Every structure is written in C-alpha cells, then in structure tokens.
Amino acid sequence: MKRFSKAYGKPVKYESVSPSLLDRHSDLPTELLNLWNEHGFAVYRRGLLWFTNPDEFEGIVKSIYGEDSTYRCIARSAFGDLILYSSEDEGRFAFFAALTLRTTAFSGHYEIFFDYTMSRKEWLRDVMLIRDYKRVLKKLGPLESDQIYAFEPHPALGGSGEGDTLEKRRIFEYLHLLSQLME
C-alpha cells in the first residue's frame, strides 16, 4: 500500500483492537484486520482519516441505511464522511459523503480502494477536502477521537458548505442529525 502510505502518512494509534473484535469482524478484508491488529484503530494525517470500531458506528449506519443494512463503518474522515464495507456479494466498499448526504459504491477489493481510489490527488482534493482540512486544522486545532469538523449550518439546512462555516462537533450527534435529514 505504497500510494496510501504516501498520501496519508504513518498511522498513530488512538485505540487498541481486542482479539474478540477481530473475531467478530473476521469477514472483513484480511488486509484491514491485519492493519487493525498491527496498529489498532489509527488516525492518519493528523486527523484527516480515522479507522474506526464498526461496533461503535452500528447505530448510525442503521439509522442512515436501515435496520437490514449489511454495511459496517470501518473508517471516517475529519468531516464525518463514512467509509463502509459490506461482505455481501463478494464484498464492496461505499463512501457516505456527509456534505452531500450521498453514498457512492466501489469495488470490494481492499488494495484497489485504499491504495488507488483513496490515494489519488483528486480524491484528496475533491472528496477528503484536503484544502479545507488544512485551513480548519490550523484555525480550530486537532480533533479528539469523537469529534469532526462539521459545516454549520449543514447545506441541507441552508448552509453554504464553504470551509469558513466549519465548526467542531461530536461525531455521533452530528451524524444522527444527518440521518434525520435523509428521512
């Protein structure tokens, strides 16, 4: 995963991953389980990307996609975007964009998704909003593990979606609000 490492840097562990959690999610891609086993749940690029405990995000995923959803949140961005994985149909990834409230599905191949799709300059610029991230990191400081930078107000509520409207918010409360906007 050379491209991913170049794009996101070295991981910094913020939480250990228990053997029982690895067992519970053993149908996730082996590469992901190996990453969790080696680095725990880690943050990349000073908070731009966070690998997450799928159990902690289960309620949010179900509120967005419904009780029958097979998606699990395996990572999230500094802006509350969710990186999801479903083991069904030979596996697939999806990206929930908190700004637009849209989901895009991707190939289920781990290396293609992380080392190619997510590591492209265009992805970092247009999807991960790297420019806004750098500005807001400097302005508001780094995030805690339960925080995101949220557009206030959200564009679905009349906000502009511009970088100067970003504020720190608690991730679960904010994503719960977004799930209600989608109903």
Summary count for the chain: helices (H), strands (E): 8, 9
- Please check the confidence at residue 90 and state whether its pLDDT lies above 90: no
- Please check the confidence at residue 58 and state whether its pLDDT lies above 90: yes
Q: Give me the amino acid identity at 28.
A: L
- Please check the confidence at residue 34 and state whether its pLDDT lies above 80: yes
Q: What is the pLDDT of residue 66?
A: 94
Rounded to an integer, what distance in angstroms lies between the CA atom of residue 123 and that of residue 130? Answer: 9
- Please check the confidence at residue 88 and state whether its pLDDT lies above 90: no
- Please check the confidence at residue 183 and state whether its pLDDT lies above 90: no
Look up residue 95 and give its two tokens.
Answer: 């990206």
3-state class (DSSP) for residue 94: strand
**96-135 confidence digits (pLDDT tens):** 999 999 999 998 789 999 999 999 999 999 999 999 999 9
The strand pair at 41-44 and 72-77 is best described as: unpaired
Does this model's pTM top 0.75? yes
Q: What is the pLDDT of residue 115?
A: 94
- Please check the confidence at residue 67 and state whether its pLDDT lies above 90: yes
The values of phi and psi at residue 151, to 5°, are -75, 125
Exposure string over 85-108, b if 16+ CB within 10 A, otherwise e: bbbeeebbbbbbbbbeeeeeebeb
**Do 62 and 75 contact (CB within 8 A), yes or no?**
no
Q: Which residues contact 138 (CB under 8 A, 6 or more apart)?
A: none
Q: What is the pLDDT of residue 177?
A: 94
pLDDT confidence of 89, banded at 50, 70, 90?
confident
Q: What is the pLDDT of residue 152?
A: 95
